[in-house]
Amino acid sequence: MPGGLELFLEALWGFASPWTLANVLWATLLGIVVGMMPGLTATLGVALLTTLTFKMPAGDAILVLICMYVGAIYGGSRSAILLNIPGTPANAATTLDGFPLARAGQAGRAMGIATAGSFCGSLIGMLMLVLVAPVLADFALAFGSYEFFWLAMFGIVISGQLTAIDDPLKGWIAGFLGLLVAMVGQEGIHAYQRFSYGITELSGGFGLLPVLVGAFGFAEILQVMKQPAYEVVRNAGGRILPRLSELVRYWRTILRSGLIGTLMGLLPGVGEDIGAWGSYAAARRASRERETFGKGSVEGLLAAETGNNAAVPGAIIPVLTLAIPGSAPAAVLLAAMFIHGIRPGPLIMIEFPSFVYEVVAMVLLASLAILVLGLALTRPLLYVLAVPRERLMPVIFVLCTVGSFAIASRLFDVWVMVGFGILGFVLREMKFPMAPLVLGVVLGPILDKNFRRAMVLSDGSLEPFFTRPVSAVLAALTLLSVLAAIPSMRAGLLRLLARLRIGRAAVRDTPEPGS
Amino acid sequence: MARTPMPRADLLAGTGFLALGLVAAVESWRMPRFEQLEVNPWSVPGLVPGLIGLVLVLLGGLLVIRALREGALAPGAGAARELGFDAETGRRTLLALLLTLGYAIGLVGRLPFRTATFLFVLAFVALFRIRREMPPGRMLRELALAALEALLVALAVGFVFERLFYVRLP
């Protein structure tokens, strides 16, 4: 079997056609535009484009979707810098230093730094994808029903907790609501139609794409229309091309943020938002210029933008190797892979090893495209921000409607989109995060089938859920995550850790007998 | 990051999830267990949705208790105010909701796609952009621009989906 590098080079060579490069350019540019517009997220962009590309050949469609994904997460930095409004939730940390830089007349510099950070983040994430995916897939081959059950449960708990850090209870409710939504329709063991009540359209359950388009598209349209209008900034001010010396100076921050971003992407349903916040917090803690953070720090901006873009390939790792999405847009990507007949999961390195390296090559092409387009089209792209929302939102709603209808050609899916849009709007207003809900919808069937299979195998005994090594680790992680979210428990855990540390220090400092 | 308390809204949401969880658990209990087919009792369809329902009852209950502790029933508490709705934001949201529902449920599938889209975009842009205090000339200009945008969107979306990507339109 050819090695990884060979497969990667083969994949790159395979993409060296004008048609493919044209696809990379338009999809990345569209992604940047979607990301720039407040109210349009990467999830919505990837979902709408999935409905548009499902008649394309699999390779072309996945390439277009990855370019949209990478482009949108990067594009959101533009509105964060120029409007102080994150274009996508992943760019919230970017506003902290990006906007002060713009206000100080250095918008061009800030956009250049954000572009360089996003490019470096994507590259670090891509390298991690090459290194981690084959190892994780190999490791996951030994996973049974017990492990997949815990993986799904851990995903819901950690996603609920990290996407609603100030209120994990709401994150968990959103996750379990997603799981319940996934229970509607025919189940996989006895083919019984649950919660369908004789409605034919419900027999197959709710389609993932109409649910996503509703929760991320329609809900956002309502939220944007609720808010007061935003001021449009047109001044790109100053030099755009980032200075190499600035990047070299902060190489540690770039590397650290890239690794943190990838790790946050890897965790089920956590994704780019936390990738950026985690990287930003770590950079601030380690920085010698801590006091400039929040006032226009180049290091802070670099950390946030490196972190969120590194989370993109990071979130693709579990999609490919476990069929579990690392983020909301990655959940759509996973659905798109199934639509196109690709079966991600632990067997991917055996069944489709070349596909993993094709995805790596796609990420590389998308990263190069954001670098080129981001730096070359800075000023023309500013016009995107000048489109008033009253003109834009009806167009987006038309796309949501057509997109929901397109997959199965049934009006029922349009109603599902509308229903989940209204539900999503109400939940968002009440500060329930959407990512755990989406993850719940994706993980529902996995959790259901594996829990029941495991219970049948163990004849009703819960013991193997806690005694098999990987299961035990995942169970402990899930439990610790829950405990860490309860304030009194967290304080107790911290006290225990502190006591252990003191104990260890005391042992170290005690002179050995006879010395 | 500190949590912004919204006790009345949380009380409503918590009660809703508690009720939903309860309904799910009861409905799961009523699902068939295929005893006559002698299937393994741990594989019955109602097992997992029932457990999920119970977890939702628990989490919804916790939210209700927290909301009550934070003063959800205090005389001044109101969900709309906690969620930042005033007359203006409420009006904008309601208008957007009525227009989008009118299009997705009322027009699409009943009228040809391009006609439905033209009417929706025209109504949305015109109703949100035209203000009563505008001079008549400006109003007419906004209306003409809305009609032009609606026409372009109806034709372009139809062309891109049908001709470029071979996707069927509603």
pLDDT of residue A235: 60
Partnered with residue A193 across adjacent β-strands are A186
How much is the mean pLDDT over chain A?
Answer: 89
Query: How confident is the model at residue A234, as a pLDDT?
Result: 55
Same domain, B105 and B145: yes
Considering the domain architecture, whether residues B148 and B91 belong to the same structural domain is answered as: yes
A173 and B59 within 8 Å at the Cβ level: the answer is yes
Q: Kindly state whether residue B169 falls inside one of the protein's structural domains.
A: no
pLDDT value of residue A514: 43
CA distance A125 to A255: 10
ipTM of this complex? 0.94
Confidence grade of residue A39 (pLDDT, cut at 50, 70, 90): confident
A423 φ/ψ sector (left φ>0, alpha ψ -120 to 50, else beta): alpha
Q: Tokens 């290194």 label which residue?
A: A131
Are the beta carbons of B89 and A227 separated by less than 8 Å? yes
Of B48, B63, B82, the residue at which a domain comes to its end is B82
| B100 occurs within a structural domain | yes
Residue A515 in this model has a pLDDT that exceeds 50: no
Q: Who among A228, A401, A459 is closest to B103 (CB)?
A: A401
Residue B64 lies in a domain: yes
In a shared domain, residues B100 and B152: yes
Taking the CA of residue A426 and the nearest CA in chain B, the distance in Å comes to 9
**Do B49 and B108 have their domain in common?**
no
Q: Which of A170, A187, A391 sits opposite B125 (nearest CB)?
A: A391
pLDDT of residue A266: 93
H helix or E strand, kind and range, residue B7: helix B7-29
Residues B67, B107, single domain; the answer is no
Which of B4, B10, B52, B89 to mutate: most A Cβ within 10 Å? B52
What is the least distance, in Å, from the CA of A320 to any CA of chain B?
26
Question: Could you say which of B65, B82, B99 is where a domain stops?
Answer: B82
Domain ranges for chain A, please list them.
Answer: 12-467
For residue B68, give its domain range: 7-82
Which of B 47-76 lie inside 8 A of A, CB atoms?
47-49, 52-53, 55-56, 59-60, 62-63, 66
Structure tokens at A409: 């050609």
Distance of CA A140 to the CA centre of its chain: 21
Q: Distance (Å) from the C-alpha of residue A55 to the closest C-alpha of chain B?
A: 7
B1 falls within a domain: no
Which pLDDT tens digit goes with each residue over B26-50?
999 999 998 888 888 899 999 999 9
Minimal C-alpha gap between B170 and chain A (Å)? 6
Tell me how far apart the alpha carbons of residues A9 and A7 are, in angstroms, rounded to a whole number.
Answer: 6
Based on the fold, state whether residues B91 and B75 are members of the same structural domain.
Answer: no
Same domain, yes or no: B115 and B140: yes
When scoring A64, A227, A401 by the number of chain B Cβ atoms within 10 A, the one with the most, hence best to mutate, is: A401
pLDDT digits (tens, 9 = 90+) for A58-98: 999 999 999 999 999 999 999 889 888 888 889 999 999 99
Q: Over the stretch A152-189, which tens digit does the pLDDT of each residue have?
A: 999 999 999 888 878 999 999 999 999 999 999 999 88
Res A344 pLDDT > 90: yes
**B71: helix, strand or coil:** coil
Give the model's pLDDT for residue A433. 92
Q: Which two tokens stand for residue A251?
A: 């190489």
Give which of A144, A213, A116, A275 is closest to B104, Cα–Cα.
A213
Instruction: Specify the pLDDT at position A87.
Output: 85
B34 in the same domain as B17:
yes
Q: Are residues B145 and B96 in the same domain?
A: yes
* Residues 5-24 in B contacting A (C-alpha not used; CB under 8 Å): 6, 9-10, 13, 17, 20, 24
Tell which of B60, B82, B104 closes a domain: B82
Cβ neighbours for A502, distance < 8 A, ≥ 6 positions apart: none
Q: DSSP characters for A239-308?
A: --SPPHHHHHHTHHHHHHHHHHHHHHHHSTT-HHHHHHHHHHHHHHHH-S-GGGTTSS-HHHHHHHHHHH
Same domain, B115 and B62: no
Q: List chain A residues with CB under 8 Å of B124.
A: 390, 393-394, 397
The amino acid that residue A116 corresponds to is A
Number of domains, chain B? 2
pLDDT tens for each residue of A384-404: 888 888 898 999 999 999 989
- Asked if residue B94 and residue B71 are part of one domain, the reply reads no
- Residue A193 phi/psi, 5° resolution? -90, 105
Measured CA to CA, the distance from residue A404 to residue A502 in angstroms comes to: 58
Q: Are B93 and A431 an interchain contact pair (Cβ–Cβ within 8 Å)?
A: no
Residue B70 lies in a domain: yes
Do B154 and B96 belong together in one domain?
yes
What residues in A contact B125, CB-CB < 8 Å?
390-391, 394
φ, ψ (nearest 5 deg) of residue B108: -65, 130
